[in-house]
């Protein structure tokens, strides 16, 4: 096989993989995997009726899902979930749902980047809401992708959380999405209180419902708000930003961090979790790092760019924080920076 033929075959296989994920995404968004799991086995029309969807669309989806391995034949003309189909359920252990949602989000952002490149326009975060089926799944995608590692690996390695818990302190999550970060903290730290702030009302509605469902309604609250115009009901013991600091960086990070410091109690902390943009371009060729390069391209559409852990820590110190400690995870691809405010804010003002 020639090099060109080999490349063509490889690219065709990759395209096939993307198509499989698109079929999975359609089933996720329309709750077809969950519905068929509940039914056990069903003909396509019965599945459509149970899911409340159009029978013609579901019939064609069942053919595509069968062809791509999500469904198997049951007796008669009925279908049942394959092992892969069962794993696509959002409530399945180690669900594959976020992979399908991310694939569709990537396709959307690639199309926007292609169209915007001639003009250089950077329309901002509203591009995430341009596809009506994507925004409701953005929070669940992030939760399924990052909550397990936060609960088992990251939160136990960051002592500030236990400290805030002992004080029954207030943890604020800016850009909270569906509230997964605060719900993880609430499960692990029974005295900690939380406030989540997000710019999308859809996310706040999800976060409020999920917190109440899990019994955290008295300890966790959520509100629509703008991180640039933050007005907390009380000074925070901790302000967290999870994969969100890069969204405010280009708007004037020095001013933003100065305002952020003013919302945190003396001796409190900002806890920043970011993809760790490598100092050397060659790192992007390492296994698992290419996704950061693609994400950085799509972040440009939103008016952002990814950050390195060292530049984040340096910015907090320059803004008058007393210290900034970096913790690296996932072979350096993920960085958590804990920036402490001085115990005397007058000292911070003099340093700033």
Q: Percent of the chain beyond pLDDT 90?
A: 88
Domain match, 32 and 136 both: no
Answer positive or negative: Cα dihedral of 21, 60, 92, 51: positive
Of 7-16, 111-120, 207-216, 232-241, which gets the smallest average pLDDT? Answer: 7-16
| SS3 state at 333 | coil
Structure tokens at 169: 């302190």
φ, ψ of residue 195 to 5 degrees: the values are -130, 125
User: 295-310: per-residue pLDDT in tens?
Assistant: 999 999 999 999 999 9
pLDDT higher than 50, residue 347 = no
Does one domain contain both 80 and 200?
Answer: no
CA angle centred on 24, ends 20 and 28, rounded to 5°? 170
Least confident of 37-46, 126-135, 292-301, 340-349: 340-349
The closest of 349, 350, 343 to 237, measured between CA atoms, is: 343
One domain for residues 289 and 220: yes
Question: Can you name the residues that pair with 80 across neighbouring β-strands?
Answer: 72
Q: Is residue 129 in a domain?
A: yes
Q: How many domains does the chain have?
A: 2
What is the per-residue pLDDT for 75?
87
CATH code, domain carrying 291:
3.40.50.150
111 occurs within a structural domain = no
Q: Is residue 116 part of a domain?
A: no
Is the domain of 284 the same as that of 162? yes
The predicted model gives 286-291 an average pLDDT of 94
Task: Kindly state whether residue 293 falls inside one of the protein's structural domains.
Answer: yes
237 and 281 part of one domain: yes
Q: Are residues 184 and 275 in the same domain?
A: yes
- Residue 173's beta-bridge partner residues? 196, 240
Quote the domain boundaries for residue 31: 3-102
The answer to whether 100 and 138 are in contact (CB under 8 A) is no
Residue 115, domain member (yes or no) = no
């Amino acid at each position: 096989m020639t090099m060109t033929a080999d490349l063509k075959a490889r690219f065709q296989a990759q395209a096939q993989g993307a198509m499989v994920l698109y079929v999975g995404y359609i089933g996720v968004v329309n709750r077809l995997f969950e519905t068929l799991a509940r039914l056990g086995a069903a003909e396509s029309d019965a599945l459509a009726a149970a899911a409340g969807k159009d029978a013609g669309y579901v019939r064609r989806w069942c053919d595509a899902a069968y062809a791509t391995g999500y469904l198997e034949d049951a007796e008669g003309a009925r279908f049942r979930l394959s092992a892969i189909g069962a794993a696509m359920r959002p409530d399945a252990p180690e669900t594959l749902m976020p992979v399908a949602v991310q694939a569709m989000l990537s396709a959307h952002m690639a199309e926007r980047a292609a169209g915007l490149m001639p003009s250089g326009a950077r329309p901002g975060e509203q591009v995430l809401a341009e596809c009506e089926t994507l925004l409701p799944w953005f929070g669940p995608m992030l939760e399924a992708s990052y909550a397990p590692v936060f609960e088992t690996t990251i939160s136990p390695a960051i002592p500030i959380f236990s400290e805030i818990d002992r004080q029954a302190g207030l943890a604020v999550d800016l850009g909270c999405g569906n509230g997964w970060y605060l719900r993880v903290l609430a499960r692990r730290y029974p005295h900690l209180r939380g406030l989540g702030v997000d710019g999308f009302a859809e996310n706040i509605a999800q976060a409020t419902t999920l917190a109440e469902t899990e019994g955290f309604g008295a300890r966790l609250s959520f509100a629509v708000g703008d991180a640039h115009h933050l007005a907390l009901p009380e000074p925070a013991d901790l302000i967290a930003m999870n994969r969100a600091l890069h969204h405010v960086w280009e708007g004037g990070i020095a001013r933003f961090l100065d305002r952020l410091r003013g919302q945190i109690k003396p001796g409190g902390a900002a806890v920043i979790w970011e993809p760790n943009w490598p100092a050397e371009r060659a790192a992007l060729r390492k296994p698992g790092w290419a996704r950061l390069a693609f994400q950085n391209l799509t972040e440009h559409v939103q008016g952002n760019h990814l950050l390195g852990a060292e530049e984040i820590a340096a910015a907090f110190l320059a803004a008058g924080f007393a210290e900034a400690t970096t913790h690296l995870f996932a072979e350096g691809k993920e960085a958590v920076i804990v920036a402490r405010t001085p115990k005397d804010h007058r000292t911070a003002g003099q340093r700033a």
